[in-house]
């Protein structure tokens, strides 16, 4: 019966993909004749690719195809009949960008570090140590949340490290992979926006200086002022902790996932093996599990990253060099095996990286049709000092749910929102905090944001299942944050 349902779903997905391609071809012809020549005149028409993207994902549960087709739709609107040429050029630009090169190097080699830790037996040793410390299911989940807080330097580092550390323990305690991914994702970007010594904090501080929001050298001071008002980050951290402690209910698919595992079902949902970066990462034959082989590489990774102005790429390279000396010196593996495991880790990251490439491509296309700017412009005439922060927050959470660019959105939105806040007399710190909070939401909840993809990959949880199982908690945090922004605007006015 289950097999028949899967075949039926796959047949439906193929038909949906072919129909969508045909529809895009027809729509492109319509766009050539009916759309304004000037992209600045598109207004709310720039919502079309976004609405298509969300609809396609929910109907087919296929994110790769959805991103590809939505990107094509963006270029059809931007380049009309030359959309294939525009799509091809954009793909080349994305792949050659410094951001993508950094992403491939850092995430790819983090995949190698994870495989090496597994093959050395260090992950198993850490899992046993955690099992001794956390003898209950709740204790194991609490440790997962705590580790997420400790890994505050970078959201990528947090997602990949915490999930690989805790998987064995959570599996042993019959925790669903959906729950593990939820905790990992919820402590990735949010904690980076609450603790200033992070890649997010450094980036935002510099961006504030570039946009003259603060004086040169004062960007970090201004960023620190926004931390108490980054309400989404606070609620995104608090709600999972309450779930772990049983003070907040399991909702929707998360409840069903936990029931599945507790009733003897598999810890991972179907098709998780496609994105799982640890699917075949059993310890090498003869490897003696030693927790020191886990602690030393992770400590080096954190220390080098901290001591080099948060250069995580250098941290990863130094960590790999130290692991070579540590593991070869103990005869855990040969030099040839070490090299093979590095390649295996790189291979394991192909699917997550492909998802992120397509997400970047869609974002590139959406930027060409001024998606974010048009959404802000649509509500700008309605803004007042009281309502600006909450409206900015809600509009940008909507755009980030679709785009998931977080840092990219900051680059676009801050130069628009800050002058707008100054013009209407809104509190600038609160308005900037609203923009930053929306970016955290995008990183956390968008189905194909980098943090969501890496959390699902490292946790061994199918991406759509992770995204939809944690989805109900996002709106709860958004509503609470919106109320907090309104109250803060009243108090600070």
Residues 67 and 192 in one domain: no
Residues 132 and 24 in one domain: no
Residues 164 and 189 in one domain: yes
Residues 238 and 118 in one domain: yes
Question: Considering 288, 321, 350, which residue would you say is the last residue of a domain?
Answer: 350
Biggest CA–CA distance in the chain, Å, is 69
Query: In the structure, what pLDDT confidence band is assigned to residue 34 with cuts at 50, 70 and 90?
Result: low
Contacts 24+ apart (CB under 8 A), 130-133: 130/165, 130/166, 130/169, 131/169, 131/172
Residues 332 and 458 in one domain: no
**pLDDT exceeds 60 at position 82:** yes
Structural domain including 242 reads 99-198+233-350
**pLDDT exceeds 70 at position 31:** no
C-alpha to C-alpha distance for 275 and 364, rounded to whole angstroms = 24
Total number of domains constituting the chain = 2
pLDDT at 50: 86
Indicate whether 206 belongs to any domain.
no
C-alpha to C-alpha distance for 163 and 460, rounded to whole angstroms = 9
Q: How many CB atoms lie within 10 A of CB 7?
A: 10
DSSP for 192-235 reads HTTSSSSHHHHHHHHHHHHTTSS-TT-HHHHHHHHGGG-HHHHH
Mean pLDDT for the stretch of residues 292-316: 90
Token readout for 25 is: 């071809």
Question: Considering 302, 320, 350, which residue would you say is the last residue of a domain?
Answer: 350
Helix axes 155-172, 137-150, angle to 10 degrees: 170
Residues 170 and 284 in one domain: yes
Question: Considering 331, 350, 369, which residue would you say is the last residue of a domain?
Answer: 350
Sequence-distant (≥ 6) Cβ neighbours of residue 39 within 8 angstroms:
77, 78, 368, 369, 370
Distance of CA 120 to the CA centre of its chain: 28
Indicate whether 399 belongs to any domain.
yes
SS3 content of the chain, % helix, strand, coil (to 5): 80, 0, 20
Residues 258 and 392 in one domain: no
**pLDDT exceeds 90 at position 149:** yes
Residues 23 and 45 in one domain: yes
Residues 307 and 332 in one domain: yes
Let me know: does 310 contact 201? Beta carbons within 8 Å. Answer: no
pLDDT at 286: 55
C-alpha to C-alpha distance for 74 and 32, rounded to whole angstroms = 13
**pLDDT exceeds 60 at position 281:** no
Let me know: does 303 contact 318? Beta carbons within 8 Å. Answer: no
**pLDDT tens string 94-119:** 999 988 899 899 989 988 998 898 88
Residues 274 and 312 in one domain: yes
Let me know: does 247 contact 141? Beta carbons within 8 Å. Answer: no
**pLDDT tens string 178-195:** 999 999 999 999 999 999
**pLDDT tens string 358-369:** 988 998 998 898
pLDDT at 1: 47
**pLDDT exceeds 80 at position 29:** no
Indicate whether 216 belongs to any domain.
no
pLDDT at 430: 96
Query: In the structure, what pLDDT confidence band is assigned to residue 234 with cuts at 50, 70 and 90?
Result: very high
Indicate whether 246 belongs to any domain.
yes
Indicate whether 222 belongs to any domain.
no
480 Rama sector, left if φ>0, alpha if ψ -120 to 50, beta otherwise: alpha
Q: pTM of the full predicted structure?
A: 0.85
How open is the CA angle 60-107-468, to the nearest 5 degrees? 30
Token readout for 441 is: 């939401």
DSSP for 387-425 reads THHHHHHHHHHHHHHHH--THHHHHHHHHHHHHHHHHHT
**pLDDT exceeds 50 at position 145:** yes
Residues 48 and 119 in one domain: no
Residues 259 and 111 in one domain: yes
Let me know: does 244 contact 198? Beta carbons within 8 Å. Answer: no
C-alpha to C-alpha distance for 471 and 445, rounded to whole angstroms = 6
**pLDDT exceeds 90 at position 130:** no
C-alpha to C-alpha distance for 80 and 121, rounded to whole angstroms = 55
Indicate whether 207 belongs to any domain.
no
Indicate whether 224 belongs to any domain.
no
Let me know: does 368 contact 74? Beta carbons within 8 Å. Answer: yes
**pLDDT exceeds 50 at position 328:** yes
**pLDDT averaged over every residue in the chain:** 87
């Amino acid at each position: 019966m289950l097999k028949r349902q899967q075949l039926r779903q796959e047949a439906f997905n193929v038909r949906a993909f072919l129909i969508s391609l045909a529809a895009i071809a027809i729509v492109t012809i319509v766009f050539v004749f009916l759309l304004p020549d000037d992209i600045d005149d598109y207004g709310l028409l720039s919502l079309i690719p976004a609405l298509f993207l969300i609809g396609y994902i929910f109907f087919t549960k296929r994110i790769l195809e959805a991103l590809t087709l939505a990107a094509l739709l963006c270029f059809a609107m931007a380049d009309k009949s030359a959309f294939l040429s525009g799509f091809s050029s954009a793909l080349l630009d994305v792949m050659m960008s410094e951001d993508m090169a950094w992403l491939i190097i850092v995430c790819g080699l983090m995949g190698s570090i994870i495989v090496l830790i597994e093959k050395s037996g260090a992950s198993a040793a850490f899992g046993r140590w955690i099992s001794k410390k956390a003898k209950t299911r709740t204790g194991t989940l609490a440790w997962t949340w705590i580790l997420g807080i400790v890994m505050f330097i970078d959201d990528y580092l947090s997602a990949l490290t915490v999930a690989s550390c805790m998987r064995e323990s959570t599996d042993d305690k019959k925790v669903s992979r959906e729950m593990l991914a939820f905790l990992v994702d919820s402590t990735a970007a949010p904690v980076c926006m609450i603790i200033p010594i992070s890649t997010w904090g450094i980036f935002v501080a510099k961006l504030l200086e570039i946009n003259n929001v603060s004086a040169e050298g004062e960007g970090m001071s201004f960023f620190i002022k926004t931390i108490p008002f980054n309400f989404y980050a606070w609620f995104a951290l608090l709600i999972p902790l309450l779930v772990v402690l049983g003070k907040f209910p399991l909702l929707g698919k998360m409840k069903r996932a936990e029931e599945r595992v507790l009733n003897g079902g598999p810890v991972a949902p179907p098709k998780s093996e496609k994105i799982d970066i640890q699917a075949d990462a059993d310890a090498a034959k003869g490897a003696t599990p030693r927790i020191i082989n886990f602690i030393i590489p992770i400590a080096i990774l954190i220390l080098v990253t901290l001591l080099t102005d948060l250069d995580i790429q250098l941290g990863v390279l130094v960590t790999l060099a130290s692991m070579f000396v540590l593991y070869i010196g103990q005869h855990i593996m040969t030099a040839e095996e070490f090299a093979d495991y590095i390649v295996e880790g790189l291979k394991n990251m192909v699917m997550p990286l492909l998802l992120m490439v397509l997400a970047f491509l869609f974002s590139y296309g959406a930027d060409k049709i001024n998606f974010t700017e048009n959404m802000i412009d649509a509500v700008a005439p309605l803004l007042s000092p009281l309502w600006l922060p909450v409206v900015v927050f809600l509009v940008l959470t909507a755009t980030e749910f679709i785009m998931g660019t977080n840092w990219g959105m900051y680059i676009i939105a801050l130069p628009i929102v800050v002058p707008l806040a100054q013009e209407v007399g809104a509190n600038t710190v609160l308005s900037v905090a609203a923009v930053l909070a929306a970016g955290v939401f995008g990183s956390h909840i968008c189905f194909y944001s980098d943090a969501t993809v890496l959390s699902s990959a490292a946790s061994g949880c199918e991406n759509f299942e992770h995204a939809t199982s944690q989805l109900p908690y996002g709106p709860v945090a958004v509503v609470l944050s919106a109320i907090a922004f309104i109250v803060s605007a009243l108090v600070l006015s």
